[in-house]
Amino acid sequence: MTLHVYDHVTRSRRQFEPIHPGKVGMYVCGMTVQDKPHVGHMFAFVACDMVRRYLEYLGYEVTHIQNFTDIDDKIIAKATEEGIDFREVADRNIALYHEYAEVLNIQPAHEYPLVTGYIPEIIAFIDGLIAKDHAYASGGDVYFRVRSYDDYGFLSGRHVDDMRSGVRVEVGEKKDDPLDFALWKTAGDDEPGWESPWGRGRPGWHIECSVMSTKILGNHFDFHGGGRDLLFPHHENECAQSCCGTGEKFVNYWLHNGLLYLGDKKMSKSDGNFFAMGDVLAKFSPEVIRFYLLNAHFRSQIDYSEERLRASEAALDRLKRGAARLHEMLASTVDPVPEGLVSEPGEILAKAIRKHNRRFFAAMDDDFNSAGALGALFSLVRDLNQYYSAAGAAVLDAGILRDAWEFYAKGVDILGLLQGGLEALAGVGKNEIPAEILQLALDRDAARARKDWAAADSLRDEIQTKGFRVEDGPSGTQVHPS
């Protein structure tokens, strides 16, 4: 199977095709930083990180851009309430985001554009929309003319004529049509603002993402992420602005993660229905939280409860113990093994590893189904336990156990499950041979298999430099403490 991703146009999964061979552009709607991140926010970023890791594993060079909305009515309200500059509010919450992202093992984006860093570009983009009659200025504001874009509603599957009833016009808005939305809003004298052809003001929310994504990634790019609650109107509006502004296609695949529910309501700061990340981290390790968030398909809804987090803690522990035991087993299979001799339980295990490996990648290829992939890792743990009880002390199967280890390590890495990757998985310190050294031995075997003697020699030297003795056994590289 090859990677298939859900496509909003055909409403089905279709084979992933990058716009530029070997490269992927991914824009993720980041936080509006009026307050501390909660678990619901971080879910979107963990999901996109998992997607990015898998794309990178497949060999794509991913450019990951994630913005921060650092100017907005709520940020201004917060700053006014505290009597400080809006930048202070934004900066302290951005710093918190980075802190949480790091412990949740989310790889840093390549760039974190800020709205306040893109004001001239935003003004120029709005100007372009006005020139094409997709937008109009009205009393210091600028609005996008929704009915000027025929495809409006395609992303969320709505029709413009059905939208009228739900639309609210705020006091002071001077729109030609209630459906139209603000691109630029006039700012009061005591509010932060920038000079523009339409007077002093600030950007509306949706325009920033159209401008920053296309400026950095190009007009047409591969992936756009964000929570399902952003689908309408935010992403629908982004599509309208971008397609009308650039005259080109905008995004190929939308990564809308499901929402985190608390009771029967979505986790939301504005409703007061949320768990702040800091409070959850005081009770559960970031590894457990990440595992919990990935143990469902990212597009599905997740119900948040401490009970479920505790279950995740136990499950992750099972996975870790399975790995530590495998590592111990590997460390004890250092004696030369007669070539071709494999125990019967070993044969069964070898077959199981191949099956779980296929299952893991079939799940990831199926629209990044991390829950299915985790299921394959747990099946490996179960089959390893069966192997240990059947094989007893007669360990002949170093090669097979290495295959199991390699699959384990790859799975953990792709899902970003453990901060320390392999080393953490092995519980290094308790064992004679560190996981890092075992990995070098595996790499050396792979180099030898492809007859890359230079690489094999340099890997041998590397292992020796790190204080271990290398021998060539019939089942591959053997490492001993020197």
In sequence order, which residues have a C-beta less than 8 Å from that of residue 8 and are 6 or more positions away? 154, 155, 254
We find the least distance from the C-beta atom of residue 242 to Zn ion, in angstroms, to be 11
Q: Does 29 bind Zn ion (CB under 5 A)?
A: yes
CB atoms near residue 428 (< 10 Å):
18
The C-alpha atoms of residue 418 and residue 297 are separated, in whole angstroms, by 19
Pairing, β 260-262 against β 135-138:
unpaired
Q: Which is nearer to Zn ion, 206 or 356 (CB)?
A: 206
Q: Which is nearer to Zn ion, 72 or 445 (CB)?
A: 72
Q: Which is nearer to Zn ion, 50 or 251 (CB)?
A: 251
We find the least distance from the C-beta atom of residue 213 to Zn ion, in angstroms, to be 8
DSSP code string of 205-244: HHHHHHHHHHHHH-SSEEEEEEEGGGIIIIIHHHHHHHHH
Residue 332 corresponds to which tokens in the numbers above?
A: 């004890």
Q: Which is nearer to Zn ion, 63 or 312 (CB)?
A: 63
Lay out the sheet containing 260-262: strands in order across. 265-266, 260-262, 302-303
We find the least distance from the C-beta atom of residue 250 to Zn ion, in angstroms, to be 12
Q: Which is nearer to Zn ion, 230 or 267 (CB)?
A: 230
Of the candidate spans 22-30, 108-116, 152-160, 319-327, the one that interacts with Zn ion by CB under 5 A turns out to be 22-30
Q: Which is nearer to Zn ion, 256 or 356 (CB)?
A: 256
The letter for the amino acid at 331 is A
SS3 assignment, position 304: coil
The C-alpha atoms of residue 303 and residue 261 are separated, in whole angstroms, by 5
Q: Does 55 bind Zn ion (CB under 5 A)?
A: no
Considering CB under 5 A, how many residues would be counted as binding Zn ion? 2
The DSSP element (H or E) to which 265 belongs, if any, is strand 265-266
Q: Which is nearer to Zn ion, 29 or 79 (CB)?
A: 29
Q: Does 412 bind Zn ion (CB under 5 A)?
A: no
C-alpha atoms less than 13 angstroms from C-alpha of 291 in its C-beta half-sphere? 27
Residues 338-367 within binding reach of Zn ion (CB under 5 A): none
Task: Using CA atoms of 110, 116, 121, 125 in order, give the dihedral in degrees to the nearest 10.
Answer: 110
Residues 187-226 within binding reach of Zn ion (CB under 5 A): 209
We find the least distance from the C-beta atom of residue 121 to Zn ion, in angstroms, to be 15
Of the candidate spans 24-32, 175-183, 352-360, 447-455, the one that interacts with Zn ion by CB under 5 A turns out to be 24-32
We find the least distance from the C-beta atom of residue 69 to Zn ion, in angstroms, to be 8
We find the least distance from the C-beta atom of residue 46 to Zn ion, in angstroms, to be 18
We find the least distance from the C-beta atom of residue 231 to Zn ion, in angstroms, to be 11
CB 338 within 8 A of CB 474: yes
Of the candidate spans 27-35, 47-55, 80-88, 336-344, the one that interacts with Zn ion by CB under 5 A turns out to be 27-35
CB 228 within 8 A of CB 236: no
Q: Which is nearer to Zn ion, 237 or 475 (CB)?
A: 237
Residues that bind Zn ion (CB under 5 A): 29, 209
